[in-house]
Amino acid sequence: MSPPRRKASNSHVTLKNTMSDNINTLTTQHGVPISDNHNSLKAGPRGPTLMEDFILREKLTHFDHERIPERVVHARGAAAHGYFKVYKPLSLVTSAGFLQDPAAETPVFVRFSTAVGARGSADTVRDVRGFAVKFYTQQGNYDLVGNNMPVFFIQDSIKFPDLVHALKPEPHHEMPQASSAHDTFWDFVSLMPESTHMLMWLMSDRAIPRSYRMMEGFGVHTFRLVNSHGQSTFVKFHWKPKLGLHSMAWDEAEKLAGRDPDFHRRDLWDAIDSGHFPEWELGVQLIDARQEAELNVDLLDATKLIPEELVPILPIGRMVLNRNPDNFFAETEQVAFNPGHLVPGIEFSNDPLLQGRLFSYADSQLSRLGGPNAHALPINRAVCPVHHFQRDGLHQSAGQKGRVAYEPNTLARGSEFRLDGATHGFHSSPDDLQSPKLRQRSASFDDHFSQAKLFWNSQSQAEKAHVVAAFRFDLSKVESTEIRQRMVDNLAHVDMKLASRVAAQLGIHTPDAAAAAGRLGYRHQTMQSELQEAPSLSMVGRYKPDIRTRKVAVLAADGIDMISVKRVIQELTAAGLHCKVIGPHLGHVASATGRTLAADYTFSNTASVMFDAVLIPGGVASADELCRLGSAVHFALEAYKHCKPICAINEGVLLLSALGFSMGMQKETAISVPTPGVVIADSQRALQGQISQAFIAAMLQHRHWDRINLDSVPA
């Protein structure tokens, strides 16, 4: 007789019912309640992040493997090969070998990218840009993985999945693509006052660069340089473009996303392909322990920067990109950057955002590149000898020989690779870690608005107008009135005029700083700064006297004044500019005497947003035909609206008649600049070379943001 069947246990059901009482409690994937979702576990408030933090590791691991095989962030990129040369030995501050010999060229591979969009998104969206450099040194690979902005949204890596989840397309309908202009992003950052400084950068012209070649790069975090005596110095890394710092107009960037979503990667490829090699200067800010205490800025806080006015940037070397990849997938797509790739002489700081990245980058490559052997791919392979006992794994291609795969050993008969000892091996500098382990952020991280205020105060009037317009645009796309209100209330702590200007068109109440101070997530401690303004934070005045590779559109139709325009084109070309003729049709446009000029584009297959400046030649018949062609008129007006330099010769000014410009100037003033960046002249001055000089002078300013009444321009 079989034993009586036992009644099924309901203990699991009971447990589930018990947990339902805590349905609003944040837990791990295994149901463990989480006490703090804002701070990783550290050895003291300013100590390094501890590996035992299973909550951090679980959260980052899941995030790292969410998307296969595309990068979770920085999916859309462009890259190039080149070299780096140091100016002089830096042995006083670091033992890093590639920073010692001015005669040596260190190979590099550099990848630029947007952060938010998928691989198929557009280049010119408003976004932070990645700026990652892999140095192939004789001591191993060193990766300087940074951005085109010197600060970041968050202070602790445990918040990175939250940030990106909020910023990415909303999961229920996968919209919008590559854009911050939606509810979930602004909901998150409005509850995270620490993001305010980064938001100022994101809403500024820095977020829409003209070209990767005209973009700064920053290491973002504080690192340490260590010399052969074990003495360390804090360091911030900066890349400065040789061509200067330039941006787009927001309307232009939006239109380019439709006209040419590959605009930035095409620009980089074409420049290198034509021999105009992009170049950057690497600079460092060096801070010793005594100076750190005087800066009133916590160097471990990635939402803060050190103004150049307080710690000047020391130029230490130059980087040149001189070769395009042979295969996009094998190189640009398969390259694996990791801030944990260091060489002797460079070390980490305890920045809690950096500490989490050291785990997350390596972990991400496991999914994206199929296992632990991504280092063996040609683009990731070190150029120096590599010896280790790591074996097998997916995609193993090394084909190691022998029976020994461990150390120490005797079976290899002395052929095993021994430890380097105290001379060349990587040594972490000793650091006192005596604080209790805890989930807590240092009080020195709590100033969220002082540097945002400094950034705002340092902008020109035109730049401030662009910041206001960007905030208005993004927040106008937010459906929740509460979120819009919360964000402008936060901005009131930066500047009340800024907040009021942003709020004016959003259908919300007057900004209320007191309301912001009482909300969830608000932490605030104002630091007194000796700087009220920092010119280095503005793009104005950062232009370089170098206009090579700029693109000039020459608008022409049959009947142009060929003699003067050819002279101007020759002089502009000699200055390193690329002149392209846009006509009503492909083929040629002809002068009244039958001389011809080849047309590179038509008004239907290109647009003003593809060019940096516009030249309108003279000739009655040419001007009349262009004025009857709506797309030609729009071309000129749109370039004017985007504050680009424009030069009109004789009758060419008729194309600008909608703007109020005319031929009514006197002969004795045959070159006129009636408004910033617009040059009007007669053909005689073209033959004397004066027009080219005036036009080039206008282009040296890049854009003329001080033009007035741009909203009234019909383009």
Token pair for 499: 């907040």
Question: Coil, strand or helix: which one is 32?
Answer: coil
What is the Cα–Cα distance from 491 to 511, expressed in whole angstroms?
A: 8
Q: How far is CA 81 from CA 129, 212, 279, in A?
A: 18, 14, 12
244 neighbors 107 (Cβ within 8 angstroms): no
Helices (H), 192-246: 196-202
Q: What is the DSSP letter of 364?
A: H
What is the Cα–Cα distance from 575 to 275, expressed in whole angstroms?
A: 15
What is the Cα–Cα distance from 444 to 437, expressed in whole angstroms?
A: 18
Identify the bridge partners of residue 613 per DSSP, sorted by sequence position: 552
Helix, strand, coil content of the chain in percent (nearest 5): 35, 20, 50
What is the Cα–Cα distance from 65 to 368, expressed in whole angstroms?
A: 8
What length does the chain have?
715
Q: Tell me, yes or no, if 17 is annotated catalytic.
A: no
Identify the bridge partners of residue 602 per DSSP, sorted by sequence position: 583
480 neighbors 187 (Cβ within 8 angstroms): yes
Active-site residue, selected from the candidate residues 39, 74, 246, 341: 74
Question: Coil, strand or helix: which one is 579?
Answer: strand
Exposure string over 360-380, b if 16+ CB within 10 A, otherwise e = bbbbbbbbbbeebbbbebebb
Active-site residue, selected from the candidate residues 147, 148, 338, 380: 147
Residue 600: left if φ>0, alpha if ψ -120 to 50, beta else—which one?
A: alpha
Which amino acid does the sequence have at 486?
R
Q: Tell me, yes or no, if 148 is annotated catalytic.
A: no
Q: Which residue is it, tokens 């892999």?
A: 134
345 neighbors 367 (Cβ within 8 angstroms): no
Token pair for 75: 């999916």
Q: Residue 217, Cα to own-chain centre: how many angstroms?
A: 7
Question: Coil, strand or helix: which one is 93?
Answer: coil
Token pair for 619: 């000739």
Extract the runs of DSSP E, i.e. beta strands, from 366-463: 437-439
Residues designated catalytic = 74, 147
